């Protein structure tokens, strides 16, 4: 089994992160032998893509890498095994996403009007949602023990595992050597909003497979879509991907069945010629639970970035 390096950025101080953030509390609750390696950026003011790219560049080739928000509580203490399982099937995994969504919309599931204000979910006939995420209050109260380990309140979007076009950025995991070899990077023109969808479209343009995987987490945010910051990112995103959006509209696509679900899919990535893959790409062998347990490191980056 490949070990996992977890990357996260937070506006909180180091002490505040471990005391109040959902991610910090869940990592402290995780037995050390099962805890991923940690790359944490505290007091951050820079965009997540910059932090994530730096971490990806510095990640050993023999690791999986997880990009996760600081307001996510990791309930599954066998996290590294779940990630290895998911990456045995897909190249990038997430917890929620979709296929067949409208590419002219800046979302994997929500619909927006001409002024880029949210109007609800995209029509089910056009998009197949996938995954499940629990939602809880963002920060725990150190004075109230019951808030330190939030009880999951699971909300389901659709069937999983499922191959997807787009994944939500609260939790994205991939094989480090595969992402490095195929130069699947985050666009640093984005700050926080829509860097995730942009990354997914970049990954799919390189024929990488994306999919949802069942891993239990609780998220402390429902998102902030009706803001000027989001609309600014949305305009950038739609301008960047406008040429592809026309070809990817639902009415221009054929359908593909997966796993007998009968649901409509988005365009399937072209099959990679594995004989031409980069030398450091992963063979995606099934994980083995007998491999050594991880060591934990707590490097503090010299620069800081933004959190959700």
Angle formed at CA 15 by CA 14 and CA 21, multiple of 5 degrees: 85
111 token code pair: 């619909």
Cα–Cα distance measured from residue 92 to residue 203, given in angstroms and rounded to the nearest whole number: 8
Angle between helix 195-205 and helix 48-57 axes, rounded to 10 deg = 40
pLDDT in tens, the chain (308 residues): 899 999 999 999 999 999 989 999 999 999 999 999 999 999 999 999 999 999 999 999 999 999 999 999 999 999 999 999 999 999 999 999 999 999 899 999 989 999 999 999 998 777 999 999 998 866 545 555 445 677 788 889 999 999 999 999 999 999 999 999 999 999 999 988 999 999 999 999 999 999 999 999 999 877 778 889 999 999 999 999 976 655 555 444 443 333 333 333 333 333 344 433 443 344 443 333 333 333 334 333 323 233 33
Cα–Cα distance measured from residue 65 to residue 175, given in angstroms and rounded to the nearest whole number: 6
First to last CA, the chain: 31
Contact 38, 6 (CB under 8 A): yes
Pairing, β 3-9 against β 96-99? unpaired
What per-residue confidence (pLDDT) applies to 29?
94
Q: What is the CATH number of domain 3-276?
A: 3.90.550.10
Q: Please name which of 103, 117, 107 lies closest in space to residue 167, comparing C-alpha atoms.
A: 107
Q: Please name which of 52, 109, 38 lies closest in space to residue 308, comparing C-alpha atoms.
A: 52
What per-residue confidence (pLDDT) applies to 154?
87
What per-residue confidence (pLDDT) applies to 15?
95
What per-residue confidence (pLDDT) applies to 155?
87
Bridge partner list, 3: 63
What per-residue confidence (pLDDT) applies to 272?
45
What per-residue confidence (pLDDT) applies to 243?
65
Structural domain boundaries of the chain?
A: 3-276
What per-residue confidence (pLDDT) applies to 303?
31
259-294 b/e (C-beta count within 10 Å ≥ 16 → b): eeeebbbbbbbeeeeeeeeeeebbebeebeeeeeeb
Model pTM above 0.95? no
Helix (H) or strand (E) holding 172: strand 171-175
């Amino acid at each position: 089994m490949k070990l996992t390096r977890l990357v996260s950025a937070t506006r909180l101080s180091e002490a505040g992160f471990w005391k109040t953030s959902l991610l910090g509390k869940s990592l402290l609750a995780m037995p050390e032998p099962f805890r991923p390696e940690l790359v944490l950026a505290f007091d951050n003011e820079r965009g997540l893509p910059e932090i994530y790219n730096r971490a990806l560049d510095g990640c050993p080739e023999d690791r999986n890498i997880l990009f996760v928000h600081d307001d996510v509580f990791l309930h599954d203490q066998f996290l590294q095994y779940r990630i290895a399982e998911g990456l045995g099937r897909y190249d990038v995994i997430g917890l929620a996403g979709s296929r067949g969504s409208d590419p002219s919309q800046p979302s994997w599931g929500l619909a927006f009007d001409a002024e880029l204000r949210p109007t609800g979910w995209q029509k089910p006939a056009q998009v197949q949602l996938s995954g499940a995420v629990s939602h809880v209050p963002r920060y725990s109260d150190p004075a109230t023990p019951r808030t330190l380990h939030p009880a999951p309140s699971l909300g389901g979007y659709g069937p999983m595992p499922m191959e997807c076009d787009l994944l939500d950025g609260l939790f994205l995991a991939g094989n480090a050597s595969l992402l490095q070899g195929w130069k699947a990077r985050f666009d640093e023109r984005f700050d926080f909003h829509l860097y995730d969808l942009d990354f997914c479209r970049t990954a799919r343009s390189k024929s990488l497979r994306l999919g949802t995987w069942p891993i239990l987490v609780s998220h402390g945010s429902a998102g902030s879509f009706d803001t000027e910051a989001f609309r600014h990112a949305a305009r950038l995103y739609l301008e960047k991907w406008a040429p592809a959006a026309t070809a990817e509209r639902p009415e221009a696509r054929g359908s593909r069945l997966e796993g007998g679900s009968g649901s409509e899919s988005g365009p399937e990535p072209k099959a990679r010629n594995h004989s031409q893959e980069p030398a450091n790409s992963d063979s995606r062998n099934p994980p083995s639970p007998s491999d050594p347990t991880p060591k934990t490191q707590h490097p503090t980056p010299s620069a800081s970035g933004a959190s959700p």
